[in-house]
Amino acid sequence: MPKKAADRGTASNGVTTPDWPALRPLAPTADLSPEVLVEGQIVVIRNLLTSTLCSRYVSFLSSLSLITTPGPKKGEAVRVNDRFQIQDATFAHHLWTDTGLHDLVTQSAGWGAVPCGLNPNIRIYRYRKGQFFDQHYDEANTVMAGSPPLPARTTWTLLIYLTGAATGCVGGETVFYPEASARRAGRVDPLAIAPEVGMALLHKHGEDCMLHEGKLVDAGEKWVIRSDLCVPRKTKLYSINHVDIYIYGSIPPPQTTIYLESNHIIQTLPPSLLQTWLAERFRRLNTSVPVEPSKLPVEYATLRTLDLSWYNEGSERKAALAEELRLGMTTQGFFTLINHGASMEDIERQVDIAHHIITNTPPEEKQKLKAPI
């Protein structure tokens, strides 16, 4: 049975924060790009750290007091390596911003949510000849992350390789095993990713984690910097005009708050300005007033009525519905719908939105949208 990975807490008590080497030289961020290996699951960024910087870090990390990972508890995967672990929000921030990782991640899609930073729980791994990490899943954790720190959860594992074939490391591949959903999508073979100097490997963890392992190192050493991408935890605060407003953090709000509209971060402001901001942002829409029927003696057409429930009542009913739609569009050009599932509140809301745009858009803006007819 596949095991879970053990994180062993944050292990900062009694450990002196290292004087980390400066994160330079670095390659220009414009020369880097995330490479998707498995959509929504595995991404690599090659050369995130330069070979010179990686060599400097290996020398520095070799001077730290690494400990051999303790034997597994019940339900944990077997891991044989040496490690150093520290809770260091400052280094996590530098790793997130100085390397360009922030820009590379936040300017690309596919992460499921907008990350706010890296897990301050920094782990250094060294795998020597004969060491490995058995098959396992990485679990998600609740942490404080970002600047300013916010309650967050980890979503993607981040591994930055400092060594690889170019430095004499043989073996040590991270191998991912496709499960049922991946096999249905046509991915049958395991995916093996060999360590490369300076390469960042990101893979989704938690409930969506793929089964994976760190293969045995046959020669040399595999050095890895480990952290995680974090996304803020959110709490629904208001629902106004069918738009949900979320607060990142807890209620009552912290000193600095990030609000969310339609799943996009749009504003950062202190709680004292919340009510003013909401009042300005969500002024009432101009309500559409239905036009009264004409009092002129005109001939009215009887529109066809399409019953959308027919769509789920068998092939004959579906064909009849299609024919009614065809007749409605090729004769009068209009029809009415029943059993469509939309409430009158939703319908009136959409009418109000259209009316608000029409009545509040300046004429010069409307001219820009004028159709060439």
Q: Give pLDDT tens digits for 263-303.
A: 444 555 565 666 666 666 555 566 677 777 777 877 777 88
Distance between CA atoms of 204 and 42, rounded to whole angstroms?
7
Whether residues 182 and 260 share a domain: the answer is no
Domain finish residue from 281, 314, 342: 281
Beta-carbon contacts of 293 under 8 Å, excluding residues fewer than 6 positions away, are none
Do 20 and 153 have their domain in common? yes
**What is the mean predicted confidence (pLDDT) over 46-53?**
98
The pLDDT assigned to 263 comes to 44
Query: pLDDT tens digits, residue range 114-169?
Result: 888 999 999 999 999 999 999 999 999 989 888 878 778 899 999 999 999 999 99
Report how far residue 116's alpha carbon sits from residue 92's, in angstroms, rounded to the nearest whole number: 11
Query: Tokens 């429930």 belong to which residue?
Result: 309
Residues 6+ apart with CB under 8 A from 73: 6
Q: Which residue, among 112, 133, 125, has the nearest Cα to 4 in the 3D structure?
A: 133
Is the same domain home to 215 and 254? Answer: no
What is the rounded average pLDDT of the residues 308-330? 93
Instruction: Confirm if 34 and 45 have CB atoms less than 8 A apart.
Output: yes
Q: Evaluate whether residue 218 is within a structural domain.
A: yes
Final residue of a structural domain among 193, 214, 232: 232
Do 206 and 331 share a structural domain?
no
Does residue 29 sit in the same domain as residue 174? yes
Of all residues in the chain, what percent carry a pLDDT higher than 70? 79
Considering the domain architecture, whether residues 194 and 276 belong to the same structural domain is answered as: no
Same domain? For 135 and 173 the reply is: yes
d(C-alpha 150, C-alpha 141), whole Å: 14
Give the angle 100-159-122 at the CA atoms, nearest 5°: 85
Where residue 235 falls among pLDDT bands split at 50, 70, 90? Answer: low
Q: Is residue 56 part of a domain?
A: yes
Place of tokens 């090659």: 46
Residues 219 and 241 in one domain: no
Residues 88 and 208 in one domain: yes
Residue type, 40: G
How many domains would you assign to the chain? 3
Q: What is the pLDDT of residue 147?
A: 81
Record the pTM.
0.66
Residue 334 within a domain: yes
Task: Tell me what the mean pLDDT of segment 332-350 comes to.
Answer: 85
State which residues form the domain around 314.
304-362
Q: Are residues 100 and 213 in the same domain?
A: yes
292 lies in some domain: no
Q: Looking at the domain assignment, is residue 293 inside a domain?
A: no
pLDDT above 90 (res 242): no
Arithmetic mean of pLDDT, 192-211: 95
Residue 370 lies in a domain: no
Question: Sign of the C-alpha dihedral, residues 358, 363, 367, 369?
Answer: negative
CATH number of 21's domain: 2.60.120.620
Asked if residue 287 belongs to a domain, the reply is no
Q: Whose structure tokens read 């672990």?
A: 85
Please check whether residues 226 and 266 belong to one and the same domain.
no
275 with 347, same domain? no
pLDDT value for 247: 59
299 falls within a domain:
no
- 61-115, pLDDT tens digit by residue? 999 999 998 888 777 889 999 999 999 999 999 999 999 999 999 888 778 778 8
Distances in whole angstroms, Cα of residue 236 to Cα of each of 65, 243, 355 = 44, 11, 29
Number of other residues whose CB lies within 10 A of the CB of residue 223: 25
> Do residues 121 and 229 touch, judged by C-beta distance below 8 A?
no
